[in-house]
Amino acid sequence: MNISELYELFLHNPKVTTDSRNCPVGSLFFALKGERFDGNQYAAKALASGSSYAIIDNPEYVTGERTILVDDVLTTLQSLAIRHRKAIGIPIIGITGTNGKTTTKELLAAVLSTKYNLLYTEGNLNNQIGVPLTLLRLNHEHEMAVIEMGASHPGDIKELVNMVQPNYGIITNVGRAHLEGFGSFEGVVKTKGELYDYMRATKGKIFIKKENVELQAIAKGIEQITYGQSDDSFTSGHIVSSNPFLTFDWKQQGKIHLVETHLIGAYNLDNVLVAVAVGRYFKIPAERISRAIANYAPTNNRSQLKKTENNELIIDAYNANPSSMKLALENFISMPVQPKAVILGDMRELGSASDDLHAEIIEQLKTGRFDKVFLCGEIFSKVAGQFPSYTTTEELITRLKEHPLKGYHILIKGSHGMALEKTVEFL
């Protein structure tokens, strides 16, 4: 069956699943493979559970006309998504970057949803599987879409933008992350810049921070909609306070709008300003933009403030890299609260530079005047120096059980794989 025929089948069965445990009636089951599983083995179960058809790439699992054999299931899923994106044809904003992708996506969704029927990436479905699944959720009632794109290797963004085919692009920033896959900071810039390459080639537009030197250097020849602190930006704004929540102002036609957010950290200024810029560009009233941003509250351990019986926590344990770790520490240092404790977990996928980059964080800790420091993970344990360290999160939890903290303001920051959110119930 070719893509045109499969697309006709999809139009009559417009629900897609890759999980045999969740097969809505009338869905198409795509039997994806991974390192530890083979979806082909579950094709029959998917059909019995409600799926109308199962797309497989192993002939051993053909059971009749409701199993559709293709060369490669993932490639077929992606090709179907491309076909569908072209058929729907609505404006799409594509987002990538080292830090702030998901927060920016959520803020854009909050603002744009006040005017448009919007589709946007759910959770963190921003890779070669998540992006096509998101595109296949598009329907003719949608007026716009915001699609997040992640990358950990060169070429990842190029592959994703060719699926998404965005009309507008946003790179939130570039920093040292996934160096194991990218090889160097220059590799990060080049890969994230693949979004700009697409926008340049298709004469699309980008929302870009006016003062971001790295991004401006690779944005030549693209129409820009700027945001930042410069008065000559399309959208300009400034921090009013950040203790702990960010309050900022922005200006439109001489009128200053003050917004109190539920976002922790001055580093979120760029994220809220690009949301304002997008809202303004798409003709959303200023008051509606400000209200949407003020009402947005982060979830999923992304800079969440949590008051427990014993302490006040800033939980930022969804992800971590050197740039986001340094910004989180800088913000915490600037907060006029006492006493302060930090719990930091290893930053993953940094390759050969990992030890040195963790050592840089140690130097920052030395100047922070924190009352308590707890380091967690094998890498931090190697470079911890004067600070107490624990190889695993479980070891740290044992310490917290034996010597509970009480009355502290605590920053919890680390890579998702460290699972530092497990410490919360002991704080």
Beta-carbon neighbour count of residue 337 at 10 Å? 11
The predicted structure's pLDDT at residue 271? 96
Give the tens place of pLDDT for each residue, 18-55: 999 999 999 999 999 988 889 999 999 999 999 999 99
Q: What are phi and psi of 143, to 5 degrees?
A: -105, -25
Give the tens place of pLDDT for each residue, 225-255: 999 999 999 999 999 998 889 999 999 888 9
Instruction: Give CB contacts under 8 A, 24+ apart, made by 54-61.
Output: 54/28, 54/29, 55/6, 55/28, 55/29, 55/30, 55/31, 56/31, 57/31, 57/33, 58/31, 61/31
Three-state DSSP class for residue 71:
coil
Distance in Å from the first CA to the final CA of the chain: 56
410's enclosing H/E stretch is: strand 409-413
- CA dist 207 and 418 (Å) reads 33
Give the tens place of pLDDT for each residue, 147-189: 999 988 888 999 999 999 999 999 998 876 666 667 677 877 8
Q: How far is CA 51 from CA 1, 14, 23, 204, 404, in A?
A: 18, 11, 5, 38, 51
The predicted structure's pLDDT at residue 177? 62
Strand partners, 304: 315
pTM of the predicted structure, to 2 decimals:
0.89
Q: How many CA atoms lie within 13 A of 258 on its CB side?
A: 3
**What's the sign of the alpha-carbon dihedral 240, 225, 102, 189?**
negative
Side chain identity at residue 344, one-letter code: L
Structure tokens at 209: 């921070």
Q: Calculate helix-pair angle for 73-88, 156-164, nearest 10 degrees.
A: 40
**Residues near 195 by beta carbon (within 8 Å), at least 6 away in sequence:** 94, 96, 149, 157, 161, 166, 169, 171
